[in-house]
Amino acid sequence: MATPAVAAAPSARKGETYTDTKRRDDVRGANIASARSVADAVRTSLGPRGMDKMISSGDQEVIITNDGATILSRMSLLQPAARMLAELSRSQDAAAGDGTTTVVVIAGALLRRAQSLLAAGAHPTAAADSLHRLAARAVQVLEGMAIPIELTDRDSLVKSASTALNSKVVSQYSGLLAPLAVDAALSVVDPAHPELLDLRDIRIIKKLGGTVDDTELVRGLIFDKKASHAAGGPSRIENAKIAVIQFQISPPKTDIEQSVIVSDYAQMDRILREERNYILGMVKKIKASGCNVLLIQKSILRDAVTELSLHYLAKAKILVVKDVERDEIEFITKTLNCLPIANIEHFREDKLGYADVVEEVSAGDGKIVKITGIRDMGRTATVLVRGSNQLVIDEADRSLHDALCVIR
Report the side by side order of strands in the sheet with 216-218: 202-208, 381-387, 216-218
Following DSSP, what letter does each residue of 349-371 receive, concatenated?
GGG-EEEEEEEEEEETTEEEEEE
C-beta neighbour count of 348 within 10 angstroms: 13
What span, in angstroms and rounded, lies between the C-alpha atoms of 53 and 72? 11
Question: 227, 317 in Cβ contact below 8 A?
Answer: no
Q: Which burial class, exposed, middle or buried, applies to 194 when counting CB atoms under 10 A from its CB (0-12, 13-18, 19+)? A: middle
Contact criterion met (CB below 8 Å) for 358 and 371: yes
Contact 238, 357 (CB under 8 A): yes
CA distance 48 to 171: 9
CA gap 292, 268 in Å, rounded: 33
As annotated, the active-site residues are 67, 100-101, 402
Name the nearest CA neighbour of 37 among 90, 111, 103, 87. Answer: 111
Helix (H), strand (E) at residue 339: none
